[in-house]
Amino acid sequence: MNVYDFQVKARDGSTVSLEGYRGKVLLIVNTATGCGFTPQYDELQALYTAYAEQGFEILDFPCNQFGEQAPGSDEEIHSFCTGRFGITFPQFAKVEVNGENAIPLYKWLTENTEFGGFGKSPMALVLSGVVKKTDQDYKNNGKVKWNFTKFLIDRNGEIVGRFEPTDMKSLKAAIEACL
């Protein structure tokens, strides 16, 4: 099984096969518009602008599961992201990434990756405390912990890395290695 085996919903409700992204390097990210990490949209757009011509795609999945920080309809979320951050990468319908209603793509991503920690920054320490309140065993499971968790997929559709919301530094090098 690889990423090309999955279908997802577009903002308009239509079904999109990830087979259409075969041969590209993908960054799959769950996002939110009212999160402390929301400014990462600027960094994500910069990566997309820099690498899209080399076969890089960002697949954005808004998610309201963490602090209810992605309120609004799919179109309201998209208008906010294009208007405020100028995103031009694909943004899909709002999803759940954990639990029984998680979409199959995210079930596969979380079952096949491990949580690597948030690091030691002040934001990482705050996030650890917040996550621990809802998931005492968060360090030992693959669930998505918060908004802006990123999964890097190589050109063969295989997962090559997971990047927690607090880790943008190593992401660029990992993308470049895949390209």
Report the distance separating Cα 132 and Cα 70, nearest Å: 21
* Choice among 35, 63, 81, 178 that is catalytic: 35
Antiparallel, parallel or unpaired: β 56-62 and 25-31: parallel
Tokens representing residue 124 in the block = 């990482």
By the 8 A CB rule, do 97 and 66 touch? Answer: no
169 secondary structure, DSSP code: H
Number of Cβ within 10 Å of residue 64's Cβ equals: 19
Tokens representing residue 50 in the block = 């820099």
By the 8 A CB rule, do 27 and 57 touch? Answer: yes
Number of Cβ within 10 Å of residue 171's Cβ equals: 18
- Is 81 labeled as catalytic in the residue annotation? no
Active-site residues, by number, are: 35
